[in-house]
A and B are shown apart, each in its own frame.
Chain A
Amino acid sequence: MSDTTHHGPPTGIRRWLFTTNHKDIGTLYLVFSLVMLFVGGAMAMIIRLELFQPGLQFVNPEFFNQMTTLHALVMVFGMIMPAFAGFANWMVPLMIGAPDMALPRLNNFSFWILPFAALMLVSTLFMPGGGPASGWTLYPPLVLQTGDAFPFVIFSVHLLGISSILAAINIIVTIMNMRTPDMPLLKMPLFVWTWLITAYLLILVMPVLAGAVTMLFTDQFFGTSFFQAAGGGDPVLFQHIFWFFGHPEVYIIILPSFGIISQIIPTFSRKPLFGHDSMVYATASIAFLSCIVWAHHMFTVGMPLAGQLYFMLSTMLIAIPTGVKIFNWTATMWRGSLSFETPMLFAIAFLFLFTFGGFSGVMMALTPADIQYHDSYFIVAHFHYVLVPGAMFAAIAGVYYWLPKWTGHMYDERLGKIHFWLSAISVNLTFFPQHFVGLAGMPRRIPDYALQFADLNAFMSIGGFLFGLSQLLFLWGVVRCMRGIGDKATDRVWEGAQGLEWEVPSPAPYHTFDTPPVVK
């Protein structure tokens, strides 16, 4: 067999270890992400269990802090980013009519770094001194008190960063270089656009995070004092560098979500996306703004007044392009012909609850008020609204939306609807009350709390358990399709679906678009 002829998937484990196929790698990313959802979710369950009642019942404070830290790191770097990388791998080549990703072997490399890095990260829990307990923000000097785990944490962050950077480069090049010849940039589907911009953000900020943790590393082991005043450094310097990465990071998470939502809403409204071009410009503006607002996470560190003013005002600006997106989605539904299959339900929940989370974001941008909100559960509420019913719901919506294309089988619509309603209700039971305990004065990252917070915390914990259990339905639904249970899916799958990915059979053949397709 010559290198250029068609070949199906190799069989057995080799297929998965050595693959260069974008669909296989996409599947690997998605499966890994699903596993990490349960790992990070289990940690969240431990957090909620300990917070169920005042007093310490189950874990020690040290371990609690390790759970908080690893829950966040696992969810952000292990669950949500790989999920979107999986979507990109599967869908970008299909949507732009490319035979595969630009550099398929590099693609597999990017993927396999991930599970190894995650393994190293989670293994720190079993080291002397335990895992990192400084919060996912890794602020010094506290993070320097980590035990033996410290260098392992640093290097796993490096590895995660390498993985993301290489994946992002691959995606950019695929999009820029592999589009079918008659698809100009502005005709690209929005999911592709959002990923293009996300990938630029990734190569812009992941190296900076690598630099930041490298400085932590030398501070710890080589006597440097980047973050120590006695040597002329400043602990706050780390916060600046971290958030220069960290704030774009949250948009790295949300932009692909926007992309998925921008595919789903038109499909189930049976109408093209409203204001396609302005959606592109809004996405680009959000990405640009996200790079210049980082210190809104640091309103209490004692920045000079001018700095506080600047970061407050620039942060508020982000509401404008984000608003454009929300309004365009609403206008897409306007005078449409809506139906409410599971992907659409999750997309609509995203629309409502992400907007809601955005509102609390704008409130926190107001510095004098944020001084009260900062490091309280109000923040925890904000970011779980944008991350869980925001990003994670978008990912779930995307899975339901494309699962038939991936597996060739329809998911169980009734199961999907039950999953949706349980999730949508319990996610609010979990995170809505966090606003109130936060405003009432409950700090975040504490294993135990004063008695006036007891009732609501019990309530939130129950909501959290319910939400966690609901995700088992998701798992079940996905596994069913993967094992080939369920109705055969048609090629187009959804009545209103538009785009190249729906022109190929379901399940998508192992190789697609060996010759560039014609865009209608």
Chain B
Amino acid sequence: MIPRHARAIALSLLPVISLPAGAAPSGWRQLNLPVGVTSISRDAYDLHMLAIYVCILIGIAVFGAMIYAMINFRKSKGAVADRTLTHSTKAEVIWTAIPAFILIFLAWQTVPALIHIEDTRDSDMTIRITGYQWKWHYEYMGEGVSFYSALGERSNTARQRNAALRPAEVDHYLLEVDEVLVLPVGAKIRYLISANDVIHAWWVPELGIKRDAIPGFINEGWFRIDQPGTYRGQCAELCGKDHGFMPIVVEALPPEEFAAWLAARRPAAQAALASSQP
């Protein structure tokens, strides 16, 4: 996790530079990395903002010097070249050392977050994600519940060339699926991810998760969702012609609601449902 003080530095810089950053989830915020609803996504966000501020500060210094030179040392202003200024060990040491220190600072902020991401111990539940051309398969390990999740019907119609339905008429165009992945809030969820044909990548920005699904290997990772809600993402590794059309929708429910949902999806419940129908 990012040390608190780094977040504090980032936050204190916030009002100075990115004025509307705190505003409602419209406008600027929609054009920035989402803060998200997991510690991983918040770490990524904090690092991202920190890096932006560092870059802005360096940028002010470097671009400032360039602009100063361009304005003040113009031939048309009568500037005469100082042809002796060709070397300065002191200056060169300084501008090697300062970036080095900045980078050490950045690295020091980053390493803990990275270690945090990789720690899959003590999970509460495990889901298995498998990428197919072009849909996802989800399995709740040990629960007997599994299903495919593909692009929603309306999006699929509207995305065709010369379709009658226009993209603008579809809610969450390209970001809706036929079956959503339902997950509980507050649980440490371990995911096992793989693919069946080519490489895909499972990306939900607000969860801060992007992981490649590699055929023949299983990658694992984890996240813990803090807030109920619907989070949308897309496949993030080119996987063929419909790579742009295999979205991910995660619905995070409070634990009890999730338990109820899961119970209803168990094979026994499904079988009962089927037999009760004529």
Q: How far is the CA of A38 from the CA of B185 in the complex (A)?
A: 52
B103 at the interface (CB under 8 A from A): yes
Whole-angstrom CA separation of A370 from B80 in the bound complex: 46
A65 within 8 A of B: yes
Give per-residue flags for B222-238: 1 if the beta carbon is below 8 A from chain A beta carbons, else 0.
Answer: 00000000000111111
Query: A271: which of B44, B74, B83, B235 is its contact (CB, 8 Å)?
Result: B83
- With A141-B198, A142-B239, A330-B69 known as contacts, the answer to whether A363 contacts B217 (CB < 8 A) is no
Q: Which residues of the partner chain B approach A234 to less than 8 Å between Cβ atoms?
A: 214, 216-217
Contact A348–B66 (Cβ < 8 Å): yes
Give the number of residues in A that approach B within 8 Å (Cβ atoms).
Answer: 92
Q: Which B residues between 94 and 130 are near A, CB-CB below 8 angstroms?
A: 95-96, 99-100, 103, 106-107, 110-111, 113-115, 117-118
Cross-chain pairs A/B with CB under 8 angstroms, 28 sampled? A54-B167, A55-B163, A60-B161, A61-B244, A142-B199, A229-B216, A234-B217, A269-B73, A300-B210, A302-B214, A305-B115, A305-B118, A312-B107, A320-B96, A328-B92, A333-B69, A337-B74, A348-B70, A367-B110, A368-B113, A368-B114, A368-B117, A369-B110, A371-B44, A372-B205, A441-B205, A448-B167, A448-B244
Task: Decide if B197 is an interface residue (CB 8 Å cutoff).
Answer: yes
Q: Which 10 pairs from chain A and chain B are nearest by CB?
A: A229-B216, A446-B244, A302-B219, A436-B31, A335-B82, A337-B81, A359-B55, A333-B69, A270-B81, A142-B198
Q: A275-B86, A275-B87, A359-B58 are in contact. Are A336 and B79 (CB under 8 A)?
A: yes
A65 to B243, CA, bound (A): 10
Residue B266 at the chain A interface, CB threshold 8 Å: no
Shortest Cβ distance from residue A47 to the other chain B in the assembled complex, whole angstroms: 13
The answer on a CB contact under 8 Å between A339 and B81 is: no
B residues sitting closer than 8 Å to A (CB atoms) are 30-34, 40-41, 43-44, 47-48, 51-52, 55, 58-59, 62-63, 65-66, 69-70, 73-76, 79-83, 85-88, 91-92, 95-96, 99-100, 103, 106-107, 110-111, 113-115, 117-118, 158-161, 163, 166-168, 172-175, 197-199, 201, 203, 205, 208-212, 214-217, 219-220, 233-245
The answer to whether A139 touches B234 (Cβ under 8 A) is no
Chain A 344-379 per-residue mask, 1 if CB under 8 angstroms from chain B, else 0: 000010011001100110110011110110111000
Kindly list chain A residues whose C-beta atoms are within 8 Å of the C-beta of B40: 368
Interchain CB contact under 8 A, B74 and A372: no
Q: How close is A157's CB to chain B, nearest CB, in angstroms?
A: 18
| CB-defined contacts of A103 to chain B, threshold 8 Å | none
| 8 additional contacts (CB under 8 A) given A271-B86, A323-B99 | A55-B158, A145-B198, A301-B214, A309-B111, A330-B65, A337-B79, A376-B236, A437-B31
Are A336 and B73 interface neighbours, CB within 8 A? Answer: yes
- Out of A139, A340, A440, A450, name the residue touching B199 (CB < 8 Å): A139
Cross-chain contact A235 with B238 (CB below 8 angstroms):
no
Closest Cβ of chain B to A146, distance in Å, is 10
Complex CA–CA separation, A374 to B81 (angstroms): 45
Q: Which residues of A from 240 to 277 have beta carbons under 8 Å from B?
A: 269-276
